[in-house]
Amino acid sequence: MYKLLSRYFTPALLLFLCLVNSVSAQIAVPLNDKVKQHIFEYKQVYYFEDTTAQLKFSEADISGFDKHFRVNPEPTPVTRNVNSAYWYRIKIGHTAGTKNNWLLEFFDQTIDSITVYSPIAPNKYTPTLLGSSRPFSDRFYHHKNFSLNLNTPKDADAIYYIRIRSHHSVNVIMVLRTVSWFISYALDEYFFFGVFYGMILVFGLYNLMMFIAMRKVQYLYYIAYNISIGLYEMCADGIAYQYIWPNNPGWNQYAYGIALFAASIFAVLFTQSLLNLKVNAPRLHQATSLVTVLRCLYFLACITINNSWFNYKIIEFIPLLLAFYAGCYTWATGYKPARFFVIGYCFLLIGFVIKSCIALNMWFLPVTEFDYYSLSVCFITEMLFISFAIGDKVRILKKEKDDAQQDIIQQMKQNEELKDILNKRLEEQVQQRTKELVEKSSMIAEQNEELRSVNDLLQHQAEEISRMNVLLEKDNVTLHNNIEKVTHDRVMSAEVDFEEFSRIYPDRETCFKFLSDLKWENAYACRKCSGLHYGGGHLPYSRRCSKCGYEESVIAYTILQNTRIPINKAFYMIFLMYSTKGKISSHKLSEILSIRQSTCWAYSTRIKKAMEARKKEIKNAGAKGWSKLVIDNSVD
């Protein structure tokens, strides 16, 4: 029984003893000039969670304060409860003869509040305030990470107490560095940041030029996606806080959430456009559209209800997986540009998984610089392969265009061959038709011979008819004289009826056209400014001066101006007056035109005056002389 208990309970007892170790059991990290930096891990970090967030550091009771601490069981400490304050304790061992200056640095740039209690004498500590909730100008080192100098005692180990409070879960990555290595590392880090954001800028400019050349909206989506990724990385790295809003720390609370939302939305829109999901996968297109709408609703909830919901970055896994599945599906169905898309998203998934494991404390190794920046590396790799996918799509489109041109050329050749065949058949048909016509011509010659004999018979009959015509000639002369008399009487009595006259001028449109041609038969000249250029007016066939805007209707300055009777009847009345030389009465006009006698009298009087004024002009005008009565320049 004793062996059994010792076998199973001894390891548990040892673990318990490790958890309740005192300050003397904590492993001290020595200051070694041969080592440029050291990341705190496992037993080197002790912690405890202050769920009330009210506990104060007490210099008077250090031993009482130390009893709360336990050894950190994780490779990297993590704050999980946003309502709690987390305390950490580290121990730096004294190393005689160290020549380097040392500093303590915190990797995560999104921590709201960090208070470091540094020892300056036995049981004497001085606090240093850090965190993203403070203005950037308050930092001693104007660097994206939180850093402070270490003033360790020369004759004893130094114990530091660190209080951390943040609105979201963070990885507390604490690094001990020499100042010289910090400067060298910072320069290299900012250089690689320049390369990283420069590549994002290059990808954006490349796609901007592609948009200008191709005029496809997918390039704008990808530019917006790149900008969103760049802004998110700047928020995560602390670059945005350092250079964009250094005096507005409040932006750090939700700027990263806005950037991540924009990256997700534009990534889905770009996926739909690049993979042409509307055609290649309609159901996936509907699914991605639904995810886009839901993501927008979640974003609005984060903005209006609770900004802390931005911390649930794991939600971005849904549009990421859906886009990856869409790429795999379209690739499997034969859409070749999707291959580079799938490869790029594989790297992005890897980076996202690493980041998620670190955030959820599922990463079994200590968090290093490579792990911390793994997502940035994967972003660049994904952008590179997405650029390959875009280029591959352009290449395929060009190939399809070339193939289409070849098909057109081939079709034109076939059309030309078909045209030659049709021409050959037409020639054969023409020859056949010519042969038939020749045969018919011979038949016609035979028929002509028969017609000659018939003509001879007809000629004999014509001679007989001529004899009879001589007998009828006398009667024709008498009849001709009678016809001339009747015709003269008909014209003088205006017996040409309105129906016959209306065949020439059947409607208002025809009359207006006749007036327009008659009125401006020589040239157009504005009566106000004598301008020679005109345009169409509001009324049919009216003309508007291009210079002064004066509009002249087709009946203005004619005998028809201010006439209320139908214009074709007015034409017929002028004709009757002209034909009868003004001798037809207003009663007769009223009977013919079905217009009141007073109206006919007034209008016929106006026509008689025009006839009198143009007596010489219409004397030998003939049948069209009546039209000369229409223009009346005396009318105002």
Q: Could you tell me the pLDDT band of residue 116, with boundaries at 50, 70 and 90?
A: very high
Domain, as residue range, for 499: 495-521+558-636
Q: Report whether 179 contacts 148 (CB < 8 A).
A: no
Compute the average pLDDT of residues 312-337.
84
The alpha carbons of the chain give a radius of gyration, in whole angstroms, of 53
The reply to whether 253 falls in a domain is yes
Does 266 share its domain with 348? yes
- The CB density around residue 465, as the number of other CB atoms within 10 Å, is 11
The pLDDT of residue 539 is: 81
According to DSSP, the β-strands at 85-93 and 534-536 are unpaired
Q: Report whether 359 contacts 171 (CB < 8 A).
A: yes
> Residue 3: is its pLDDT beyond 70?
no
- b/e per residue 297-314 (b: at least 16 CB within 10 A): ebbeebeeeeeeebbebe
The pLDDT of residue 620 is: 65
Pick the range with the lowest mean pLDDT from 17-21, 503-507, 523-527, 564-568: 17-21
Inter-CA distances, 577 with 486, 511, 589, Å: 19, 18, 9
The pLDDT of residue 414 is: 84
Alpha helices in 362-373 (DSSP H): 369-372
Does 157 share its domain with 44? yes
Pick the range with the lowest mean pLDDT from 6-15, 172-181, 456-465, 579-588: 6-15
Pick the range with the lowest mean pLDDT from 148-152, 202-206, 367-371, 510-514: 367-371
**pTM above threshold 0.85:** no
Q: Report whether 515 contacts 541 (CB < 8 A).
A: yes
- b/e per residue 179-192 (b: at least 16 CB within 10 A): eeebeebbeebeee
In angstroms, the CA 108 to CA 130 distance is 12
Give bridge partners of residue 114 from the DSSP assignment. Answer: 130, 164
Q: Report whether 524 contacts 600 (CB < 8 A).
A: no
The reply to whether 510 falls in a domain is yes
DSSP 570: H
Does 550 share its domain with 605? no
Hey, what amino acid is at 493? S
In angstroms, the CA 340 to CA 321 distance is 16
> Residue 1: is its pLDDT beyond 50?
no
The reply to whether 477 falls in a domain is yes
More confident residue, 111 or 94: 111
Does 149 share its domain with 179? yes
Pick the range with the lowest mean pLDDT from 27-41, 166-180, 219-233, 606-620: 606-620
The pLDDT of residue 88 is: 93
Share of the chain above pLDDT 90, in %: 5
CATH number at residue 110: 2.60.40.2380
Among candidate residues 100, 80, 104, the one with its CA nearest the CA of residue 90:
104
> Residue 495: is its pLDDT beyond 70?
no
Compute the average pLDDT of residues 233-255.
82
> Residue 500: is its pLDDT beyond 50?
yes
Does 487 share its domain with 575? no
What number of CA atoms fall less than 13 Å from residue 592's CA on the CB side? 24
The reply to whether 5 falls in a domain is no
Q: What is the phi/psi pair of residue 15, to 5°?
A: -65, -40
In angstroms, the CA 323 to CA 321 distance is 5
In angstroms, the CA 346 to CA 348 distance is 5
Q: How many domains does the chain have?
A: 5
Among candidate residues 177, 112, 123, the one with its CA nearest the CA of residue 150:
177
- b/e per residue 555-589 (b: at least 16 CB within 10 A): bbbbbbeebeeebbbbbbbbbbbbbbebebebebb
More confident residue, 47 or 19: 47
The reply to whether 376 falls in a domain is yes
> Residue 607: is its pLDDT beyond 70?
yes
> Residue 21: is its pLDDT beyond 50?
no
Q: Rounded mean pLDDT of the chain?
A: 79
Q: Report whether 612 contacts 631 (CB < 8 A).
A: no
Does 133 share its domain with 32? yes
